[in-house]
Structure 1
Amino acid sequence: MTLDLSSTPQLTARFDSDATGELIGDGVRETFAEESTERLREAVLGRVGELASAAGRPVQLTVSDDEGDWLLAVQPDGSIGDEAALSAAQSGEHVPVSSRGSLSGGSSSEEVPARDTAAREAPTRESFLHVERPRPDRAKQGVRGALARAGMPLSPSAAELRERIELDAVSRHWAGPRTIAIVNGKGGANKTPTTALLSAVFARNGGSGVLAWDNNETRGTLGWRTEKDEHDSTVQSLLPATDMLMSAGARTADIGHFVHHQNADKYDVLRSNPTMLATEQRISSADFDRLHAVATKFYRLVIIDSGNDESAERWLRMIDHTDQLVIATTALGEHAEAGALLLEALLQRDSHSARLAREAVVIVSQSERTGPAADVRRVATGFEPLARRAVTIPFDPEMHGGRLSFESLAPRTRRAWLHAAAAVADGL
């Protein structure tokens, strides 16, 4: 059966995230499948325009997608308006072009009254400076964005507004450098992916000046999971060069001899050496101070992937330099418990560590071993009394093994990492 508008000019369009959808009218369905969501919207709206033209009257169209539901009017000429345009068209009233989805605006017929002689002799004017003419806020995403680009003045959805706020948060530059420590005393708790992907979010949105530092003397794998430059430099290579890099003659590009740039994700990596024994790459408190001084001279944001030994000098000195603490964990009980015990221990260490614990952000990632997503939410809820924020990351195979690349993640995973990074940024 095909759609028939002889009985009632009312249709419902549903759009799914996999570029499929359906058009429903009086119990009859037409299904659509396109190569992209943009093409899907064009196909469905084009079909509604055909139906309105065949019926010779406006069609009421209810659009449903993941942003919500709203009512539109599709005219026989294919133009699109909102509820007011539909009501006006059905009652026979004149519908202004600007409310029917036209790309052109109307012009005013009002005449500007002539100024009197006195006004012309002593003219006054407003300054051309400090005059703000804010542009109307239009939707840019989803169906609302597609219709806004076609000329229909739709405002952003609540979800799009939240995303804009979070993008603004992670794009911010602070006065002075900031240090973020990613911690959990249990191995395999997702510290390295958390370090790399938070670095990617901050660098891709806020620009250069982000360093991911592998502060691990027990086979840290941040270097294995990120891009490598033509050299083999590690933390051990940088240590003898700290005096030179801190000198007045050091150039910004000199740091490139010791770090590995991530071309797509825009941040740099300071590697540890996972092939060396821990005893061969001990870092003292004084060593850490020198490394941190260099890092914060050349970078505005330093994100440190820590080791598992919470008693090591380099680990404790990292905490002393930290501005924002992040607990990385999966929903496995031992990972979550290790993170909680660490927060409790920091509360007892000193006032700075206690503040970090109270203001910590917990990022709970779903892995193949953690079971259903409900377990991830349960762990996050359990951390809420202990930390400032607890956020979740859905399972994504691109996070488990191999090189970490933000662009390779699924859209919902990228969105979750943006949400997590914005929570971290709020503490900086």
Structure 2
Amino acid sequence: MSTTTRPLVYAAVTGDTASFVSTHGRAERLEPLEGCDIRSAIVQRAIAEAQSARIDLELITSGDHGEHRLLVSQDGIVTGITANEALHNPIEETQDVAATHGPPASELPAPRRAARSERRSFIVEPSEGEPDHLTAWHALLRRFGITVRRSAEALRRAGDESAVAQHWAGCRTIAVVNGKGGVGKTMTTAMLSAVFARYGGGPVLAWDNNDTRGTLGWRTESGHYDSTVQDLLPAAEWLLSPDAPIADIANYVHHQTHDRYDVLRSNPELLAARQRIATTEFDLLMRVAARYFRLVVFDSGNDESAERWLRMVDSSYQLVIPTIAARESAESAALLLEALTGRDRRSADLARNATVVMTLSERVNPAEVRPIVEGFTDLVRAVHIIPFDPALKSGPLRFDALQLATRRAWVRTAASVAEQL
């Protein structure tokens, strides 16, 4: 049930017709006029209802395109809203959105002749216009001259997607770190890589920077070979040479065909002692990554004393701290932040501007979530919660396998991370 105090009208779409229920509960059958769409007829009928009663009302539609909510003002302005928004709040009026039904052109005041110094350019930057992605309702109604304003939630989603789609000058690096195992480092690495690669395009690398049983390769697609970071090391000098073709990097990384990023694997079958990477070797690998990729997301190991772990932190623009809704995992993350704060000035800055990502389990206790979120609020720049999703629990990590709410949560999280890049 809606919490709004505005009158409600309803429309149920069936094929090319609709049943419209007015504010007085009277039902009537609607059919589209020639050359129009049934959805246009519904909105025109709702506008007529609002203008007749001289009130703003809420139109709730259902049918083959799902359920939608639209605010219809008595001025003829239609605004998209969602069930999660506070509908009782007044809608801000803006002068740059024209009403669908206004006075005849003959009644409009003559346009003021602008001075030469006031002339606006005819070229409009893409960022000044309306976001490109439209719902089925928005797209259909626009065809018939009906302007529907985007909801606050839709505008925020569009802003998040724009944030993760941007490119930066030079390679950017993100380190996913927490000294405790089983807190979602690999999952977070894969999902952030997928979001940045799918929305931003361009080469993105998920790097398993782990001495001890790194499992990123187990949960992502494999190429037609078993290449790991140990194979890339001896080829690094060649890959950095002017004669090395860009495509040669594909011999050493594993492309994710749907999520569009690449994975640099470690070898979970080797003992840590057999795959240690010194600082100079890490720097060499980082030079290769910076040449071939615009963004690198590190899946760190649990050994915070390893040279490659420390060098990873020194090479990163942003820290992402994954945790689960358990006090032990949160405490491990907090201790890491404290240790970095006391390490040096740059590490302290990374810790202060870190992003904490908490993934929820299927049977999470809400009483455990709040104190953890509140505890991190004063320690880091942002805290984001990822809802439980069976697709994250085990098996291949693929963005399309996630539920809609989970995908949106990861895009929101990635947009927050992008603020520090």
TM-score (ref. length: structure 1) = 0.75
Alignment pair present for 1:381 and 2:374: yes
- Secondary structure of 2:183's match? coil
- Secondary structure of 1:327's match? strand
What are the residue-to-residue correspondences of 1:140-151 with 2, within 5 Å? 140-141=134-135, 147-151=141-145
Instruction: Give the direction of change, closer, same or farther, for the CA distance of 1:29–1:241 in structure 2 (3 Å limit).
Output: farther
Answer whether contact 2:47 2:73 (CA < 8 A) is retained.
no
Across the aligned residues of Structure 1 and Structure 2, the Cα RMSD in angstroms comes to: 3.9
- Secondary structure of 1:269's match? strand
Alignment pair present for 1:226 and 2:224: no
- Secondary structure of 1:168's match? helix
Answer whether contact 1:67 1:142 (CA < 8 A) is retained.
no
Paired residue for 1:397? 390
1:62 to 37, 55, 58: 58
**In structure 1, C-alpha distance between the alignment counterparts of 2:357 and 2:367, rounded to whole Å:** 15
**In structure 2, C-alpha distance between the alignment counterparts of 1:196 and 1:68, rounded to whole Å:** 35
Paired residue for 1:115? none
Write the letter of the residue equivalent to 1:278: A
Paired residue for 2:87? none
Q: CA deviation at 1:26?
A: 6.2
Ranked by relative contact order (alpha carbons within 8 Å, sequence separation 6 or more), the top structure is 2
Q: CA deviation at 1:376?
A: 3.5
Answer whether contact 2:320 2:356 (CA < 8 A) is retained.
yes
Write the letter of the residue equivalent to 2:202: S
Write the letter of the residue equivalent to 2:212: T
1:293 to 287, 294, 298: 287
Alignment pair present for 1:162 and 2:156: yes
- Secondary structure of 1:223's match? helix
Alignment pair present for 1:424 and 2:402: no
* 5+ long unaligned stretches in structure 1: 1-9, 16-20, 31-41, 74-79, 84-96, 113-124
**In structure 2, C-alpha distance between the alignment counterparts of 1:412 and 1:170, rounded to whole Å:** 17
TM-score (ref. length: structure 2) = 0.76
CA deviations 1:261-283 (Å, max 9, x no partner) are 11111110001111112122111
Alignment pair present for 1:316 and 2:310: yes
What are the residue-to-residue correspondences of 1:95-174 with 2, within 5 Å? 99-100=100-101, 131-133=122-124, 137=130, 140-141=134-135, 147-174=141-168
Q: CA deviation at 1:58?
A: 6.5
Instruction: Give the direction of change, closer, same or farther, for the CA distance of 1:420–1:98 in structure 2 (3 Å limit).
Output: closer
**In structure 1, C-alpha distance between the alignment counterparts of 2:26 and 2:405, rounded to whole Å:** 29
**In structure 2, C-alpha distance between the alignment counterparts of 1:278 and 1:345, rounded to whole Å:** 24
Q: CA deviation at 1:175?
A: 1.1
Answer whether contact 1:192 1:222 (CA < 8 A) is retained.
yes
Instruction: Give the direction of change, closer, same or farther, for the CA distance of 1:51–1:334 in structure 2 (3 Å limit).
Output: closer
Write the letter of the residue equivalent to 1:12: V
Answer whether contact 1:381 1:390 (CA < 8 A) is retained.
no
Paired residue for 1:302? 296
- Secondary structure of 1:363's match? strand
**In structure 2, C-alpha distance between the alignment counterparts of 1:411 and 1:318, rounded to whole Å:** 33
Identity of aligned residues (%): 47
What are the residue-to-residue correspondences of 1:26-425 with 2, within 5 Å? 62-64=58-60, 70-71=71-72, 81-82=76-77, 99-100=100-101, 131-133=122-124, 137=130, 140-141=134-135, 147-368=141-362, 371-373=364-366, 375-425=368-418
**In structure 1, C-alpha distance between the alignment counterparts of 2:47 and 2:248, rounded to whole Å:** 66
Instruction: Give the direction of change, closer, same or farther, for the CA distance of 1:146–1:297 in structure 2 (3 Å limit).
Output: same
**In structure 1, C-alpha distance between the alignment counterparts of 2:326 and 2:19, rounded to whole Å:** 41
**In structure 1, C-alpha distance between the alignment counterparts of 2:11 and 2:312, rounded to whole Å:** 51
* Larger gyration radius, structure 1 or structure 2: 1
Could you list the runs of 4 or more consecutive aligned residues of structure 1 that deviate by over 4 angstroms after TM superposition?
A: 21-30, 42-53, 57-61, 64-69, 106-110, 133-136, 142-146
- Secondary structure of 1:352's match? helix
**In structure 2, C-alpha distance between the alignment counterparts of 1:381 and 1:187, rounded to whole Å:** 23
Instruction: Give the direction of change, closer, same or farther, for the CA distance of 1:285–1:160 in structure 2 (3 Å limit).
Output: same
Answer whether contact 2:254 2:263 (CA < 8 A) is retained.
yes
Answer whether contact 1:145 1:156 (CA < 8 A) is retained.
no
Instruction: Give the direction of change, closer, same or farther, for the CA distance of 1:329–1:98 in structure 2 (3 Å limit).
Output: closer
Q: CA deviation at 1:296?
A: 1.0
